[in-house]
Amino acid sequence: RLTEEGALEYKSLEERRFGVQTAFGVMYLGVAVILLLSAVWMGLWFANRLAQPIRLLIGAAKKVSDGDLDVQVSVKASQGELSSLANTFNNMTHQLSDQRRELLETNAQIDRRRKFTEAVLAGVTAGVIGLDRSGKINLVNRSAKSILGKEDGDIVGSQLEDVIPELREFSTKAARPGS
């Protein structure tokens, strides 16, 4: 009788074995999915944290390409090489900003000098023509335009010999070193 009860209990356990195995499998799968999702979430969080300074640098570079030279990138010193890169970028934008300011100041000064020269030449009754080192005309006053009977656009940028062929020999002598 004990043997029969043992055999019945064994059959009963045998029949329930599949259900228990299924329950353990589902629990194992649930834990595995939770661990997998946690690992993915941690990986994304770490990647975001790592990529954030690079995104800031890219955004700042875009602003610089649009003309905003006053942009600065703030990166924590604990970020190692990215911090060094951000500091270099900030130094570069600072230098570009300074150079741009100096260039604008220089251009304004050149423009003031040009206007002053033109104002002085406008009051001169003699014809005055300015040349660059290669012999191209870069400045003509009103009297010279009147004498030549040409407009500014026809004269400025042309070679002196092309506008006044009579001065070809003079221009050639003046271009020789030591003359």
Among residues 116, 166, 163, the alpha carbon closest in space to that of 135 is found at 163
* C-alpha distance from residue 54 to each of 29, 48, 66, 82, 85 (Å): 37, 10, 18, 8, 9
- Is residue 148 very low, low, confident or very high in pLDDT (cuts 50, 70, 90)? confident
How far apart (Å, rounded) are the C-alpha atoms in residues 149 and 142?
10
If DSSP codes are grouped into helix, strand and coil, which group holds residue 136? strand
pTM: 0.53
- Give residue-wise pLDDT tens across range 83-139: 888 888 999 999 999 999 999 999 999 999 888 887 887 777 888 888 888 888 888
